[in-house]
Structure 1
Amino acid sequence: MPSALASFEIVIGTLLVIAVVVLAATFLRRRYIAHGLPLTLCGLRPTETDRWHLGLIRFGEHALEWYTLGGVSLRPKHRWQRQSLLLTAPRRLPRAEAIAVLPDAYRVVCTDRAKTFELALQGPAYTALRSWQEAAPPGYNVNVA
């Protein structure tokens, strides 16, 4: 019969192994999602809700892809084609809506066909998004307001 100390050591060891596995999975998922493309932290809010959802946004070759921050899925939860994405002017996020991990974020209202949503991005990430949108290949019908 194992002693209480041995049981305690087994529990602590198991928790440490689980923590290492979760951290490694998170790191590997982020590396896989990035695939060498720009990836940044972003908030997403559909217009019908008041809640921001944190995630990772990737500027792909032809589409903007949004991945949930947690989880194990390697597929984007949302995907918006560059040629159908309309961005409005950014507005600083009010303090009442502030997101702790995105200090001084900007809110950008976006429209993709008939769907409207908002993105919360920090200054450099917003600049990257605007540059990505404006740098569309020739022949794309890009709408930048």
Structure 2
Amino acid sequence: MPLWQWIVDIAGGLLLLLVLYGLALVVRRRLLGRHGGTFELSHRVRTDRPGRGWVLGVGRYSGEILEWYRVFSLSPRPKRVWQREQLSYDGRREPMGAEQTSLYPDHLVICCRSDDGEVELAMSGGSLTGFQSWLEARPPGTDWSR
């Protein structure tokens, strides 16, 4: 078989793998959204350089926890999990510099504290309202001084 046919076969195989990967991402997103409570949520995983380290993702409320899934991962498990009782809202700000191109349009950067330290998330204004409601809906007997 000539070399050009090998190249066409390899290119076709790579294209097929790319289409299957995209289809798997769509199916995974549908399965995550099946139980409701999902929204676009970016998380800053590295804070060593200003404005860098953001990873696009999907957030999902599951009872007392907030689960975060990477957008371009096929893993059915969340990459990060935050307990409601260990998370407190510190404030919000507009994305600055490189963050404006790294995040979804019209998203706000949310600063939170957890037992593990500072957590930076990015979400839309409507999702922020839901996030604040979720945080405030702690069960009776919760320490509200956090």
Deviation digits for residues 31-78 of structure 1 (CA, Å, limit 9, x no counterpart): 233341222222212574332122211122110111122222111111
**In 1, Cα distance between equivalents of 2:107 and 2:145:** 23
The alpha-carbon deviation at position 87 of structure 1 amounts to 0.7
TM-score w.r.t. the length of structure 2 is 0.78
Give the residue type in structure 2 aligned to 1:25: A
Query: Partners of 1:3 and 1:70 in 2: how far apart?
Result: 34
Identity %: 31
Residue 66 of structure 1 contacts residue 77 of structure 1 at CA under 8 Å; is this kept in 2? yes
What is the rounded CA distance, in whole Å, between the counterparts of 1:38 and 1:116 in structure 2?
24
**Unmatched 5+ residue regions in structure 1?**
none
Change (3 A) 1:21 1:143: farther
Matches within 5 A, 1:92-103: 92-103=94-105
* Cα displacement string for residues 103-138 of structure 1 (whole angstroms, at most 9, x for unaligned residues): 232111111114212111121221221122122333
Match of 2:89 in 1: 87
Alpha carbon RMSD of aligned pairs, Å?
2.7
Contact 1:106 1:121 in 2 (8 A): yes
Q: 1:28 aligns to what?
A: 27
Pairing partner for 1:63 from 54, 61, 65: 65
Partner AA of 2:26 in structure 1 = F
78-87 vs 26-35, greater mean Cα deviation:
26-35
Give TM-score, length-normalised by structure 1. 0.79
After superposition, the Cα gap between the structure-2 partners of 1:120 and 1:30, relative to the gap in structure 1 and judged at 3 Å, is same
Deviation at 1:15, TM superposition (A): 3.8
Q: Which residue of 2 aligns with 1:119?
A: 121
Once the two structures are TM-superposed, the CA of residue 80 in structure 1 deviates from its matched residue by: 0.7
Equivalent residues, number: 143
Judging changes above 3 Å, is the alpha-carbon distance between structure 1 residues 3 and 104 closer, same or farther for their aligned structure 2 residues? closer
